[in-house]
Structure 1
């Protein structure tokens, strides 16, 4: 089961997506469906079928977002987080081979389109949580164990 936590930025992004889908994309797609339907025979009308399908996708995403927005718990930065890795942190890590990564620990729904974000439910995030600069985190995966040293912790304030 996924956690229901989200950063304030992620929450605002989801609300903006919901607003855009409901106020812009859905009305536009509905107009296209109406126009395509007015042309007559719908059985071979590609515009009609494509836009009906798109309307179903939009409605499905709108329902999902409304449910998520009601259920998510927004986690804001608090000064008590400063010296340790917690939800919302940007963490710079390095392995024994000198490979460096900079990751942000966020909720699952925030991962879409963000290459440096990791889910707080991932093995990496679980290993990093509550660690401090200089600590080592052992990441256990089905394939192997990896050791990462924490170099820096930052929060958006």
Structure 2
């Protein structure tokens, strides 16, 4: 399944910033690689080997960002119906009648579990979309099922 092309304005800013930082880092790595190559025998030159690997990783990420960014659609407006869960919503839930949790539904390029950002493509987000406060959703995951009661929705 292809990931959704949606992203918040803040997420788009961070992706463009990362692309810029990767290009700057690439310049430094190319200079270090040239210096390592000038030292002679490349087959046993650890610095040369390390810099080649680092350059490949940077180039791979730059290619991904350059391909992904033009395909993204920035969603930066609040929906007309703020009583329902839509993209970019902060949703407070009661999980399995025991634990209160808060998630924000974001694009797949913005996932950050430490911040509570979950992908709009995740099973929980898909179950929550268009639901309202006091609605209950159930999802099945690998470790079993979970029930969530929607306590609050903010944008």
Measured against the shorter chain, the TM-score band is over 0.9
- Answering whether residue 86 of structure 2 is matched by residue 86 of structure 1, we say yes
- How far off is 1:115 after superposition? 4.2
Provide the C-alpha distance between the structure 2 equivalents of 1:7 and 1:137, rounded to a whole number of angstroms: 25
Partner of 1:129: 129
Partner of 2:58: 58
Provide the C-alpha distance between the structure 1 equivalents of 2:66 and 2:150, rounded to a whole number of angstroms: 37
Partner of 1:14: 15
- How far off is 1:108 after superposition? 1.1
1:138 and 1:145 in contact (8 A); partners too: yes
Trace 1:101-112 onto structure 2 (pairs within 5 A): 101-112=101-112
Partner of 2:30: 30
What secondary structure sits across from 2:34 in the alignment?
helix
Provide the C-alpha distance between the structure 1 equivalents of 2:103 and 2:153, rounded to a whole number of angstroms: 10
Deviates more, 1:83-92 or 1:131-140: 131-140
- Structure 1 runs (4+) deviating above 4 angstroms are 112-115
Root-mean-square deviation over aligned CA pairs: 1.5
Query: TM (normalized to structure 1)?
Result: 0.91
Provide the C-alpha distance between the structure 2 equivalents of 1:72 and 1:114, rounded to a whole number of angstroms: 23
Provide the C-alpha distance between the structure 1 equivalents of 2:113 and 2:6, rounded to a whole number of angstroms: 18
1:107 and 1:120 in contact (8 A); partners too: yes
- The alignment covers a number of residue pairs equal to 154
Point out where structure 2 has 5 or more consecutive residues left out of the alignment: none
1:61-119 CA-to-partner distances (Å, cap 9, x unmatched) read: 10100111011111112241411111111110003432111111111111157441111
Alpha-carbon spacing, 1:127–1:143, altered in 2? closer, same or farther (3 Å): same
